[in-house]
Amino acid sequence: MAVIADRCPQVQVTVVDLNAERIAAWNDPDLTLLPVYEPGLDAVVGRARGRNLHFSTAVEEAIAAADMVFISVNTPTKTRGIGAGQASDLKWVEASARTVAKAARGHTIVVEKSTLPVRTAAVIENILTSSERATESQPGRSFSVLSNPEFLAEGTAIADLESPDRVLIGGQDPEAIEALEAIYRHWVPAERILTTNLWSSELSKLTANAFLAQRISSINGVAAICEATGADVRQVSQAIGADSRIGPKFLQAGPGFGGSCFQKDILNLVYLCRHYGLEEVAAYWEQVVTLNHWQQQRIARLVITKLFGTVSGKRIGVLGFAFKADTNDTRESPAIRICIDLLEEGAILQILDPKVSEQQIAQDLGLPSSHGEGSWKLVTDVHQAASGADALLLLTEWQQFSEIDWPTVAALMRQPAWLFDARAKADATAAKAAGLQVWTVGEGSPV
């Protein structure tokens, strides 16, 4: 929404949330304290805030004044009831639709922005149309529902929004589609704006994420074969990515995918397939998630095996906790599962992440920071992470981890010491020269 405000100074954008603390953080004069860390976001908010970008808790007031309302609420995986563990919990979407139904005035275009299971627009439409009837206190209102899924990736969100591969708008009402298209045309070339029916738009978002995640599970599976056979997954990625039909992106082996979308969207797709009796299709996509979990367990097991079969009481420096670099987001981060496995084996983890807070890690690991076997603490530099450690385990590809001064760091570790690089990010040659044993994901030793 901040980018829309930035690119369309004549459009008034009001972001509303019931959470007053969060809104206060978005209004903080210190732009480094915005609730989301995203490179470039502070500059965009700095330019537009107070001009045509506003953050407010006055939800109903803002809806009443709006021509267009974007629903961008969380849709977490259900934890209980029908579809638990797979289907999305739509309670916030439904609550938002009901609030819009109550507060809107005149004609309102309602845009689904949250990633939703296919045919959710029908639920929103249903709630809205049942409120269209005019009453004495409420003059006539009408609604058009559009789907406009978001394809941005964290860490590159601003660049993705400013120059998207495509903008997708799904809907039935040509006037509503044109109104939303007109907003994007301020900065997106018309040929990159695709219009489809509502269901195609909703399904495209789930499918795009499923395809991306599938590539990662595929390459992680290949990484394991490389390690077993003496091939090098980076060479394989380069070789297959040179085929223009395959393309070079999303072929980086790693500790498995994390983030708020991939797993959730695939599980949604799996649920949808089962709902329509497509068991084989469901099993196919489910395997992408299974392989992702396997990769995480494989890495934890490998660390334990290489450290003579036990990590009990051993210090391990964990480099990176976020699910990818340039974000403070830890949702579904592979680091969570890997750290939990190591903690259960009694390891003492010295975790370093430039953006993730101690509080967040404690919540993710279900364990406060402490001392002794099976404990963790947050450290602030790589020297502290390496201090007295038998191993460093690189899990997030932060740039600083490719610039480590290995002779200094190796001298702080207990020998024989290991570097486990699950992102192929570190300078392995320098680490080896400094006396470390190095394991790099997907790198087999040629015989």
| Helix, strand, coil percent content, the chain, rounded in steps of 5 | 45, 15, 40
Q: How far apart are CA 3 and CA 178, in angstroms?
A: 19
Q: How is residue 194 written in tokens?
A: 């695709």
The question of whether 261 is a catalytic residue gets the answer yes
Contact 23, 56 (CB under 8 A): yes
The half-sphere exposure of 404 on its side-chain side, counting CA atoms within 13 A, is: 32
Length of the chain: 447
Specify the residue, 83 or 258, whose C-beta has the smaller distance to ligand UDX.
258
- Min separation Cβ 162 and ligand UDX, Å: 15
| Tokens 């090098």 found at | 232
Specify the residue, 194 or 411, whose C-beta has the smaller distance to ligand UDX.
194
- The residue among 99, 181, 184, 187 whose CA lies nearest residue 143 is 99
- Min separation Cβ 16 and ligand UDX, Å: 22
Name the catalytic one among 226, 261, 273, 339. Answer: 261
- Min separation Cβ 94 and ligand UDX, Å: 22
Residue 420: count other Cβ atoms within 10 Å of its Cβ. 26
Residue 67: count other Cβ atoms within 10 Å of its Cβ. 13
* Alpha helices, DSSP H, located in 249-333: 262-275, 279-306
Where do contacts with ligand UDX occur on this chain (CB under 6 A)? 150-154, 209, 212, 216, 250-252, 254, 257-259, 261-262, 323-324
- Min separation Cβ 174 and ligand UDX, Å: 26
Specify the residue, 45 or 253, whose C-beta has the smaller distance to ligand UDX.
253
- Min separation Cβ 71 and ligand UDX, Å: 16
The residues, any chain, with a CB within 8 Å of residue 73's CB and separated by 6 or more, are 92, 93, 95, 96, 114
- Min separation Cβ 64 and ligand UDX, Å: 30
Specify the residue, 153 or 340, whose C-beta has the smaller distance to ligand UDX.
153
- Min separation Cβ 4 and ligand UDX, Å: 16
Q: How far apart are CA 105 and CA 345, in angstroms?
A: 59
Q: How is residue 39 written in tokens?
A: 């490179």
Specify the residue, 256 or 317, whose C-beta has the smaller distance to ligand UDX.
256
Specify the residue, 170 or 259, whose C-beta has the smaller distance to ligand UDX.
259
The residues, any chain, with a CB within 8 Å of residue 143's CB and separated by 6 or more, are 100, 101, 104, 107, 108, 109, 110, 125, 128, 129, 132
The residues, any chain, with a CB within 8 Å of residue 136's CB and separated by 6 or more, are none
Contact 108, 66 (CB under 8 A): yes
Specify the residue, 215 or 274, whose C-beta has the smaller distance to ligand UDX.
215
No. of H helices and E strands in the chain?
Answer: 17, 13
As annotated, the active-site residues are 261
